[in-house]
């Protein structure tokens, strides 16, 4: 019994001495790892390690150094706030809850609190109301509570406004010009052809030789007049159709008459 008690008295101080030594070693390891991660830009991991060595259970001098390093790391660490909104046509209001992922890492549900992240480029997936939005952002050191927003696809389709035409379509000008030209050709060829035909009637009546040059010329002029008339009728129809379509598709005029007697637009 005495031997057992003596053994306990010898071992107890050794155990008591080993516990602080083990704790000090853990504090030193956390301080070293925190500085290493800080220097590599992994500020979130550095913060977690420096919190360990700034704990009151670590040696006082180490606590002081780690607390100073921790404050500097926290000042450099950027943070974000995630927001998902409805489309403007659906009111544009915020949507909750929002689930956030970055690659294989699940960041949980977004809240009003800012989430600390390492500086650099990030690609997030924001999931809300069954839709997943991809959002990319670059975080800079010291940037706090940066808003990262996603907009849900619209649930309503807006009516597309009728675009205002810049000018009269080219086909209107072409068909209009062709109508005028055909009308002129019909008038000239018809008049000259009829005049030549009348002269031939007076000269030879119904016995004119079809091979005669004057007979052929009058015949060609009258055929040309018929062709010009056909072209004129078709081009006039195209002109009318395109002009009416153009005028019907133009937005209503915004001109208004003011009491002062001036037109305003």
Residues 6+ apart with CB under 8 A from 156: 89, 90
Interval 173-226: pLDDT, tens: 787 788 888 788 878 877 886 787 777 677 776 777 777 777 777 777 778 778
| Tokens found for residue 158 | 């807006």
Provide the pLDDT for residue 250.
64
The full DSSP string for 219-260 is HHHHHHHHHHHHHHHHHHHHHHHHHHHHHHHSPPP--EE-TT
What sections of 40-169 are H helices per DSSP? 43-53, 60-76
For residues 130 and 194, what is the distance between their CA atoms, to the nearest angstrom? 81
* pTM beyond 0.85: no
List, for the chain, all residue ranges whose pLDDT scores fall below the cut of 70: 1-20, 157-167, 193, 200, 205, 250-265
Q: Which of 23, 68, 25, 70 is nearest to 49 (CA)?
A: 70
Interval 148-172: pLDDT, tens: 999 999 887 665 554 454 567 787 7
Query: CATH says 79-151 is which class?
Result: mainly beta
């Amino acid at each position: 019994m005495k031997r057992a008690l003596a053994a306990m008295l010898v071992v107890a101080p050794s155990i008591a001495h080993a516990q602080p030594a083990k704790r000090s070693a853990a504090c030193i390891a956390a301080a070293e790892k925190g500085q290493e991660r800080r220097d590599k830009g992994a500020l979130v991991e550095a913060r977690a390690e420096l919190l360990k060595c700034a704990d009151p259970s670590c040696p006082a001098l180490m606590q002081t150094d780690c607390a100073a390093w921790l404050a500097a790391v926290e000042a450099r660490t950027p943070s974000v706030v995630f927001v998902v909104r409805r489309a403007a046509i659906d009111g544009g209001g915020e949507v909750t809850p929002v689930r956030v992922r970055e690659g294989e890492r699940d960041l949980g549900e977004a809240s009003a609190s800012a989430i600390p992240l390492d500086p650099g480029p990030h690609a997030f997936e924001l999931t809300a109301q069954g839709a997943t939005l991809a959002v990319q952002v670059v975080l800079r050191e010291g940037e706090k509570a940066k808003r990262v927003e996603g907009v849900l696809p619209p649930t309503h389709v807006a009516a597309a406004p009728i675009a205002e035409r810049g000018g009269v379509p080219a086909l209107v000008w072409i068909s209009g010009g062709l109508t005028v030209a055909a009308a002129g050709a019909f008038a000239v060829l018809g008049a000259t052809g009829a005049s030549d035909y009348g002269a031939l009637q007076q000269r030879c009546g119904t016995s004119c030789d079809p091979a005669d040059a004057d007979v052929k010329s009058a015949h060609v002029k009258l055929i040309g007049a018929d062709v010009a008339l056909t072209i004129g009728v078709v081009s006039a129809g195209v002109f009318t159709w395109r002009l009416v379509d153009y005028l019907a598709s133009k937005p209503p005029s915004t001109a208004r008459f003011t009491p002062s007697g001036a037109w305003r637009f």
